[in-house]
A and B are shown apart, each in its own frame.
Chain A
Amino acid sequence: MPEAARTQVEHPAHAAPAGFIRKYIFSLDHKVIGTQYFFLALFSVFVGIILSVLMRFHLVWPQAAIPGLGALAPTGAAGGVMTPEFYLSLMTIHGTIMVFFVLTTAPQGGFGNYFLPIQIGAADMAFPVLNMLSFWITFVGLIVLLAAFVVSGGAPLSGWTAYPPLSAIGQIAGPGQGTGQTLWILSIALFTVASVLGALNFIVTTIDLRAPGMSMMRLPLTVWAWFITAILGLLAFSVLLAAGILLLLDRMAGTSFFIPAGLVVNDQMLLNHQGGSPLLWQHLFWFFGHPEVYIAILPGMGAVSQILSTFARKPIFGYRAMVYALMGIGFLGFMVWGHHMFMSGMSPYSALVFSVMTMAIGVPSAIKTFNWIGTLWGGNIQFTTAMLFAIGFVSLFVTGGLSGLFLAQPSVDIYFHDTYFVVGHFHMIMGVAAIFGIFAATYFWFPKMYGRMMNEGWGKLHFWITFVGVYAIFTPMHLLGVVGSPRRYSQFTEYDFLKPLAGVHEFITIAAFITATAQVVFLFNLFYSIWKGRKAEINPWHCTTLEWTVPSPPPHDNFGGRPPTVYHGAYEYSVPDAKADYLMQTDAARLPALKH
């Protein structure tokens, strides 16, 4: 190809936009879109946290009035005391927001969008318009979800899993099951479409837009994680969409996909349905749902690998094993959905298969864990805030993973299912571990995104309170579960066998208050540093990957039209004979090669 043609090819993305709207609102720039995703998730996580604090308050002091709540929700919480239904609606929106609009957006849509193109040396995503669309569809999805709070009947009660028949039969099943549940389904449908568009973009970008020399096995593990997460999303989300369409038809068009005959709900017999199977929904939902938990956690694994290696000043231990472990986790993740359904009366043989497959995921997970520890081992560790959160991630991943091994035994799970043991498990591994991944990534990449440093002192304060806090909140939940405390109950004070546990619940609630409040430190640090933080150098962490070769924040087309050339893998730390103790991916072969 003649030179001229090559340079043309080089700017496939788009020209720098002029005007506020094209620049910041309907922007095509992956960095702006990534930032939009990040702030959407940040807003969502604070909504989610407020809801969870309200829930914890009610669980422990069910009769006490919450100031102001009465005015916000006159029917659900007259006088500030919430009804059980209102509690369930908070729980549903909490779970849905956290899983979809926080854990699925920030790590992938946020950091992935921002850094994947830069880390592979591209000017933008492969399809910038699709990228913009996918953000704005997500945004509408969030609005639709939150709208459920203000429509008549309020938000739905059926949890983030929306099991039928509760979710399928409408208003008769409870206040939020009318319009609220319909909005929930629409919101999730929008979300799935947006996620599929996003995933497509990530995959094509990674395959087609890598800079010269950036072979697959030189990709930073962050890129691998985003890439594999995108593949999971591509395979999983449309299954949820299919389930959502069928559920919507059951509600609106009188079909019976999920609704069985002879249902009696609230003393009313449902006559116009027959033959449907609620378990069919569970299969479809969890076929999506289990991969979804990996969609939430894999990008965190990528970021943590990057951060551990950087701050231990050592190459990541077992790069290839890390890549294959990511693939293994992604692959096995599609074979295990039945472990959410051990209680459904499935054949013990199926249960056995699902159980074995589930434990098999432990193998690649353990490989990753050992490699992280191997990376830290004997390293020259710098305990930055990002590093602390990355180590915290590993800790939480191990804790949550261990309780998962218990739940993977059908015989044990039959006892633990729908108890607080499960709540403890998934919060540890999916909730907080992934959140720690997001925090680690935020502290790590903030200097690149804003050209300023976050305050390390506040960062460490934030880390320690949060780290101790989440263990204080979620460890006792395992104990509650062992004793038999059921989940999705709005209060426990009425059950004699749970009375002795009231103190544990109080402890959890207080820990939750403190932990939630500590997040203000993070917020303050974030916003203060955006405007007032110390100026950052181009590469403050002495990291090797491509984003650290461009100015902070990176210019519109990342590399000024000259794509970098890559000569190394992403983890060349502690390089003997190198001038610094690391080699950037763009450093041409120098001293060490001469020795050869």
Chain B
Amino acid sequence: MATISPPRRAAKLKGPEGDDGGRFGDGRSGGGGDGDAFRLPLPLRRYHTGIWFALVPIVMLFMALSSAYVVRQGLSDDWRSMAWPHLLWWNSAVLLASSATLEVARRKSQPWGMARHSQSGAKLQLFPVAPAVKKWLMTTLALGLLFLAGQLLAWKQLVAQGVYLATNPSSSFFYVLTATHAVHLLGGVVALAWVTAKCWKRLEPSGRTGVTVAGIYWHFMDAVWIYLLLLLVLWP
């Protein structure tokens, strides 16, 4: 069994912590004792990881559409800037407000509002915050729906002015970008409604994770909306 790789095997044998010096830490840090060896990741962590990675394809989707926007505009001489409804500013305000209310809900759902043990083991506080969380989540949902209704109204106003999907590339992109955003936000509304239902009676760790995860997505769609507004304002 000739081999041309260096005899490095003995040196390689180490405990279960791995041999990459923690550079690719697998999150299961801590000693390599037997007990720890059988520790599995928290079941909820995957939702955090998942939502962050789920944002990637959405970013790419909007990158693709907005680079098409810029390219299509630069290429042609048929682009007529459109005057879009002032309603959009109000809608934006509503969406921003919804992010704020969701953030309040998230903070109120965090462990410091829940039962917690101090170092010494004494209970710090134990009182149910579910009603407050519920209230803020419901407010967020209402604002989200209001935003969507507002977007629909804005489209209606455009149609009333005779600006359709195929009227001009600028209007085509306007409808495509806003619709793509709206569909994603609708997904957020559904997810948030589900999370709200989950937190209805009691706030369990899974519900708390749900609020955080839905929050990340929601704020992100908020940011996407601001990005789209900038795009539409700066390259009309």
CB distance from B58 to the nearest CB of A (A): 7
Q: How far is the CA of A430 from the CA of B37 in the complex (A)?
A: 41
Q: With A275-B169, A575-B9, A592-B10 in contact, is A234–B46 under 8 Å at CB? A: no
Q: Is A366 on the interface with B (CB-CB < 8 A)? A: no
Say yes or no: B72 contacts A242, CB within 8 Å.
Answer: no
Say yes or no: A216 contacts B53, CB within 8 Å.
Answer: no
Name the interface size band of chain B. Answer: 35 or more
Q: Is B3 on the interface with A (CB-CB < 8 A)? A: yes
Say yes or no: A253 contacts B16, CB within 8 Å.
Answer: no
Q: With A235-B57, A239-B64, A563-B38 in contact, is A589–B14 under 8 Å at CB? A: yes
Q: How far is the CA of A261 from the CA of B39 in the complex (A)?
A: 64
B53 — which chain A residues lie within 8 A by C-beta?
Answer: 200, 203-204, 234
Say yes or no: A249 contacts B165, CB within 8 Å.
Answer: yes
| Tally of chain A residues near chain B (CB < 8 A) | 77
Q: Is A196 on the interface with B (CB-CB < 8 A)? A: yes
Say yes or no: B10 contacts A238, CB within 8 Å.
Answer: no
CB distance from A290 to the nearest CB of B (A): 15
Q: With A10-B40, A200-B53, A238-B57 in contact, is A380–B1 under 8 Å at CB? A: yes
Say yes or no: B61 contacts A212, CB within 8 Å.
Answer: no
Say yes or no: A566 contacts B1, CB within 8 Å.
Answer: no
Say yes or no: A234 contacts B18, CB within 8 Å.
Answer: no
Q: Is A208 on the interface with B (CB-CB < 8 A)? A: yes
As a 0/1 sequence over residues 55 to 93 of chain B, the CB contacts with chain A under 8 angstroms (1 = contact) are 011101101110010011001111100000000000000
B25 — which chain A residues lie within 8 A by C-beta?
Answer: 215
Q: With A255-B169, A287-B64 in contact, is A126–B1 under 8 Å at CB? A: no
Say yes or no: B9 contacts A280, CB within 8 Å.
Answer: no
As a 0/1 sequence over residues 19 to 54 of chain B, the CB contacts with chain A under 8 angstroms (1 = contact) are 110011111100010011111111101100110011
Q: Is A12 on the interface with B (CB-CB < 8 A)? A: yes
As a 0/1 sequence over residues 1 to 43 of chain A, the CB contacts with chain B under 8 angstroms (1 = contact) are 1010010011010000000000000000000000000000000
CB distance from A322 to the nearest CB of B (A): 13
Say yes or no: A241 contacts B61, CB within 8 Å.
Answer: yes
Q: With A126-B46, A378-B3 in contact, is A209–B71 under 8 Å at CB? A: no
A238 — which chain B residues lie within 8 A by C-beta?
Answer: 57-58, 60-61, 64
Residue among B25, B58, B63, B79 with max Cβ neighbours from chain A (10 Å):
B63
Q: Is A276 on the interface with B (CB-CB < 8 A)? A: yes
Q: How far is the CA of A132 from the CA of B133 in the complex (A)?
A: 33
B71 — which chain A residues lie within 8 A by C-beta?
Answer: 277, 280, 283
Q: Which stretch of A87-95, A312-320, A480-488 is in the interface?
A: A312-320
Q: Is A256 on the interface with B (CB-CB < 8 A)? A: yes
Say yes or no: B64 contacts A242, CB within 8 Å.
Answer: yes
Q: How far is the CA of A257 from the CA of B2 in the complex (A)?
A: 62
Q: Closest A-chain residue to B22, C-beta based?
A: A215
Say yes or no: B40 contacts A563, CB within 8 Å.
Answer: yes
Say yes or no: A9 contacts B46, CB within 8 Å.
Answer: no
Q: How far is the CA of A64 from the CA of B231 in the complex (A)?
A: 58
Say yes or no: A208 contacts B45, CB within 8 Å.
Answer: yes
CB distance from A121 to the nearest CB of B (A): 9
Say yes or no: A127 contacts B50, CB within 8 Å.
Answer: yes
B172 — which chain A residues lie within 8 A by C-beta?
Answer: 249, 255-257
CB distance from A277 to the nearest CB of B (A): 5
Say yes or no: A314 contacts B5, CB within 8 Å.
Answer: yes
Q: How far is the CA of A320 from the CA of B68 in the complex (A)?
A: 38
Q: Which of A215, A257, A280 contacts B18 (CB 8 A)?
A: A215
Say yes or no: B78 contacts A274, CB within 8 Å.
Answer: yes
Q: Is A356 on the interface with B (CB-CB < 8 A)? A: no
Chain A 540-596 residues near chain B, CB threshold 8 A: 562-563, 565-569, 572, 574-576, 581, 589, 592-593, 595-596
Q: Is A218 on the interface with B (CB-CB < 8 A)? A: yes
Q: How far is the CA of A22 from the CA of B14 in the complex (A)?
A: 42
Q: How far is the CA of A276 from the CA of B75 in the complex (A)?
A: 8
A378 — which chain B residues lie within 8 A by C-beta?
Answer: 2-4
Q: How far is the CA of A588 from the CA of B100 in the complex (A)?
A: 52
Say yes or no: B5 contacts A315, CB within 8 Å.
Answer: yes
Say yes or no: A213 contacts B24, CB within 8 Å.
Answer: no
Q: Is A254 on the interface with B (CB-CB < 8 A)? A: yes
Can you list 30 contacts pairing A with B, beta carbon distance less than 8 Å? A9-B40, A9-B41, A9-B42, A127-B50, A212-B28, A213-B18, A216-B18, A216-B26, A217-B19, A217-B23, A218-B18, A234-B53, A236-B60, A239-B63, A242-B64, A256-B78, A256-B166, A257-B72, A275-B77, A275-B78, A287-B64, A314-B3, A317-B5, A565-B37, A565-B38, A568-B13, A572-B9, A574-B1, A581-B1, A596-B11
Name 19 extra pairs, CB < 8 A, besides A256-B78, A275-B169.
A209-B46, A212-B28, A212-B38, A215-B20, A217-B24, A234-B57, A242-B65, A245-B180, A256-B172, A257-B68, A274-B76, A275-B72, A277-B75, A283-B71, A563-B40, A567-B15, A592-B10, A593-B13, A596-B10
Q: Which residues of B are at the interface with A, using a C-beta cutoff of 8 A?
A: 1-5, 7, 9-20, 23-28, 32, 35-43, 45-46, 49-50, 53-54, 56-58, 60-61, 63-65, 68, 71-72, 75-79, 165-166, 169, 172, 176, 180
